[in-house]
Structures are given as C-alpha cells and as structure tokens.
C-alpha cells in the first residue's frame, strides 16, 4: 500500500473512534481499556532492542499483539495504537512486526494513525494555554501535563506538535534535547510514563481464546490446560 494522505489518516481515526470504540472525536483514550473493549489479546513481554511489538489477525478475525515491555510506557501506548492500525486497516493476515524507525509506507501510515488517534488535533489544542498556542512558545510545564493527559511519550508529543505546525523545528530540537525524566521530577511529576513497565501484563481473554481454539481442534488438550494453568500467575488487566 502507498503512503496515505493526512485526510485519509484522519478519516480512519475518526472511523475507529466512532465505529470501533464508541467515543467522541477529541477526548484522550485509555489504550488498555480500548484493547479490552475490542477483545484484542495483548501480552507485554521483554523483546529485543529496536523491536517495539508485533500483531496478527487470524483468518477467524481474532486479533493478538505482543508489546515490548522494555520500552517506556508512553512508547508502549504508541505501539499499541500503531498495531491497531495494522489489525483494523491492514490488508493481510500475516504477522506484522514493528521496529523502531520503519520507513515503509505502511509503517509511516501506522505511525500517523497512532499519533492522530492518541492525540486528536482539536483535543490536543484544547490542552494548550491560549497564549502558548498562539505564540508557538509551549512551556515545559504544558508539555509534561499534556503528555500525561494523553499517555504519550515526550518524543511522540513533540512530533505531533511539530507536524501540526504548533511548534517550529527550533522549539522541537530544544525540547527534544532535554532529559525528560529529570525535567518531570523537577516539576514534581511521577516519571513512570518515561520508563519501562507492564512486564508480565496481559490484557484480554486468553482463557476464552484458548477454549475457542481447543474446541476448533487447533490446539491439543495439553496445550489448553497449560495455558489455563499459566493464568493465575499472570498479571491481568481487563
């Protein structure tokens, strides 16, 4: 697939919000709640450096993703949104692997979708003080607060503001160079958003999915029981 226009990406995100997760067009979303609502099984595990996650949509329309818990939590949220693009708007059912810095058209499309889904333009602008928005001089305090409102990384917010022409390249470079955990601590914020986390978490109905596959004869009784025995030791968020 070729690279999609901004208008098409915006149309996809609006379609996703209205028709898949039944929410308005501008509010922040809780990406973990979205996964639960959609019935997408998501596992958070340590993966290799440079690997953000992977996803697959089965021929029976089951959807699964694996997220790298070694990445910071804000980055994990972005990866989930990125993979949602592939699961709901991708063109095939082969496993998709997401790596940092992917430049293929579909990877660019998925990144644009994730950015617009997590940080809708109107909702984002509503979070910015009027004078800062009009002047393009966004403060560090505003950045830190807005990152928490939308649950995104510092880099993701800066890129979105730059692409919306709310900040210029000089401001982008200025804020990109800071040590964000130090800045967050200086302003009295918890730094968890900028650190790895969620290791061992799973979201969704793993037991239900295993039962479905067992009934269809796709996994053995032994494998099914192995999955059920694993569940009490997992950290589940539903």
Do 216 and 177 lie in a common domain? no
Q: Decide if 22 is inside a domain.
A: yes
Identify the pLDDT of residue 141: 98
Q: How many domains does the chain have?
A: 2
Identify the pLDDT of residue 211: 65
Do 215 and 196 lie in a common domain? no
Is pTM beyond 0.75 here? yes
Identify the pLDDT of residue 232: 42
Do 238 and 225 lie in a common domain? yes
Could you give the CA distance from residue 149 to residue 5 in angstroms, rounded to a whole number? 27
Do 191 and 211 lie in a common domain? no
Q: Decide if 64 is inside a domain.
A: yes
Q: Decide if 16 is inside a domain.
A: yes
Do 134 and 25 lie in a common domain? yes
Identify the pLDDT of residue 233: 46
DSSP codes of every residue in 133-154: HHHT---HHHHHHHHHHHT--H
Q: Are strands 51-57 and 96-99 parallel, antiparallel or unpaired?
A: antiparallel
Do 179 and 82 lie in a common domain? yes
Q: Decide if 52 is inside a domain.
A: yes
Q: Decide if 1 is inside a domain.
A: no
Q: Decide if 139 is inside a domain.
A: yes
Nearest Cα residue to 1 out of 163, 112, 164, 99: 112
Do 135 and 198 lie in a common domain? yes
Identify the pLDDT of residue 188: 97
Do 228 and 122 lie in a common domain? no
Identify the pLDDT of residue 86: 94
Domain residues for 194? 6-204
CB-based contact 123:27 (threshold 8 Å): yes
Identify the pLDDT of residue 98: 86
Do 212 and 146 lie in a common domain? no
- In the predicted model, residues of the chain with pLDDT beneath 70 are 1, 92-94, 102, 205-214, 218-219, 221-238
Q: Decide if 117 is inside a domain.
A: yes
Could you give the CA distance from residue 168 to residue 28 in angstroms, rounded to a whole number? 24
Do 106 and 217 lie in a common domain? no
Q: Decide if 238 is inside a domain.
A: yes
Do 14 and 119 lie in a common domain? yes
Residue 197, helix vs strand vs coil: coil
Do 211 and 161 lie in a common domain? no
């Amino acid at each position: 697939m070729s690279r999609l226009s901004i208008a098409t990406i915006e149309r996809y995100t609006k379609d996703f919000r209205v028709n898949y997760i039944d929410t308005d067009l501008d509010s922040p979303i809780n990406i973990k709640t979205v996964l639960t609502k959609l019935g997408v099984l998501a596992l958070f595990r340590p993966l290799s450096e440079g690997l953000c996650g992977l996803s697959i949509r089965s021929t029976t329309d089951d959807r699964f993703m694996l997220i790298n818990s070694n990445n910071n939590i804000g980055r994990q949220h972005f990866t989930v949104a990125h993979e949602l693009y592939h699961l709901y708007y991708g063109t095939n059912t082969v496993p998709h692997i997401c790596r940092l810095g992917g430049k293929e058209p579909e990877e660019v499309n998925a990144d644009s979708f994730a950015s617009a889904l997590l940080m809708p333009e109107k909702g984002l602008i509503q979070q910015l003080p009027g004078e800062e928005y009009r002047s393009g001089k966004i403060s560090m305090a505003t950045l830190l607060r807005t990152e928490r409102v939308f649950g995104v990384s510092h880099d993701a917010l800066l890129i979105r503001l730059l692409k919306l022409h709310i900040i210029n390249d000089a401001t982008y470079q200025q804020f990109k160079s800071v040590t964000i955990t130090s800045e967050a601590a200086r302003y009295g914020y918890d730094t968890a958003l900028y650190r790895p986390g969620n290791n061992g978490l799973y979201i969704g109905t793993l037991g239900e999915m295993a039962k479905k596959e067992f009934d269809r004869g796709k996994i053995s009784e032994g494998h099914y029981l192995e999955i059920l025995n694993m569940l009490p030791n997992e950290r589940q968020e539903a």
